[in-house]
């Protein structure tokens, strides 16, 4: 408990010049690291989820390094937000069903397929289309929010698959690539919120 209080005190000191969204990111990252990701289960992803913003996470075994990474992620998320809006991800709504089927709607177009949740790895593999094109995201659910993040170097191909906006994705490649090369172990994606 003392360790958690010390960490939260450190975060308060760090976050004096940080806005509310950044503080939310910091505390979410800390909660995931301290508590562990026990809340993400196959049942916790069932439902309808709407895009609420970009997400950036860092893979780290050191809690304080992770906290520092969460502060740095605010700048990365700011750049990523414009990229996601450019390709239309900011309009995406997912629906995951208990039977392993799902659909998502983006810019008025609906796509459906199947998904498999890996309990150990905390990943979801989504297959769409007649060719069974698949993408795998790391998933974290925390309350009514869910993060879908991908290895930063894989995000471009995921955006092409989801958005079907190849030319727009290609034009943002340099931004994503510069983000990916900035930090080791960075995962990029988006946050979703469960709809009532």
Question: For the chain, what percent of residues have pLDDT higher than 70?
Answer: 62
Tokens standing for 193?
A: 């919120």
Tokens standing for 109?
A: 């177009």
In this prediction, residues 96-110 reach a mean pLDDT of: 94
**Residue 76: CA atoms inside 13 Å, Cβ hemisphere, count?**
25
User: In terms of pLDDT, which residue wins out, 129 or 86?
Assistant: 86
The pLDDT value given to residue 38: 59
**Mean pLDDT over all residues of the chain?**
75
For the chain, the domains span 2-194
In this prediction, residues 135-156 reach a mean pLDDT of: 89
**Secondary structure of residue 93 in the 3-state scheme:** strand
Burial class (CB in 10 A: 0-12, 13-18, 19+), 138: buried
- Pairing mode of beta strands 186-194, 47-58: antiparallel
Predicted confidence (pLDDT) at residue 138 exceeds the cutoff of 90:
yes
**In terms of CATH architecture, what is 2-194?**
Beta Barrel (2.40)
User: In terms of pLDDT, which residue wins out, 3 or 129?
Assistant: 129
What's the rounded Cα separation, in Å, for the pair 195 and 129? 25
The pTM of the whole model exceeds 0.75 = no
- The mean-pLDDT minimum among 75-84, 108-117, 178-187 falls in 178-187
In this prediction, residues 82-99 reach a mean pLDDT of: 92
pLDDT digits (tens, 9 = 90+) for 25-71: 544 454 444 334 557 899 999 999 999 999 988 765 444 455 565 66
């Amino acid at each position: 408990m003392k360790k958690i209080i010390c960490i939260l005190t450190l975060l308060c000191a760090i976050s004096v010049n940080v806005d509310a969204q950044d503080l939310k990111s910091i505390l979410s990252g800390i909660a995931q690291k301290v508590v562990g990701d026990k809340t993400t289960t196959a049942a916790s992803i069932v439902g309808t989820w709407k895009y609420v913003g970009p997400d950036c996470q860092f893979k780290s075994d050191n809690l304080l390094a992770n906290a520092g990474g969460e502060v740095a992620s605010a700048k990365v998320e700011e750049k990523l937000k414009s990229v996601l809006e450019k390709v239309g991800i900011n309009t995406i709504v997912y629906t995951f069903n208990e039977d392993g089927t799902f659909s998502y709607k983006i810019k008025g177009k609906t796509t459906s397929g199947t998904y498999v949740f890996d309990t150990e790895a905390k990943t979801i593999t989504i297959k769409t289309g007649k060719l069974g094109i698949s993408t795998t995201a790391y998933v974290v659910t925390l309350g009514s929010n869910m993060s879908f993040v991908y290895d930063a170097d894989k995000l471009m191909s995921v955006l092409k698959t989801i958005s079907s906006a190849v030319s727009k994705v290609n034009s943002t490649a340099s931004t994503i690539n510069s983000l990916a090369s900035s930090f080791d172990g960075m995962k990029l994606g988006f946050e979703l919120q469960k709809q009532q």
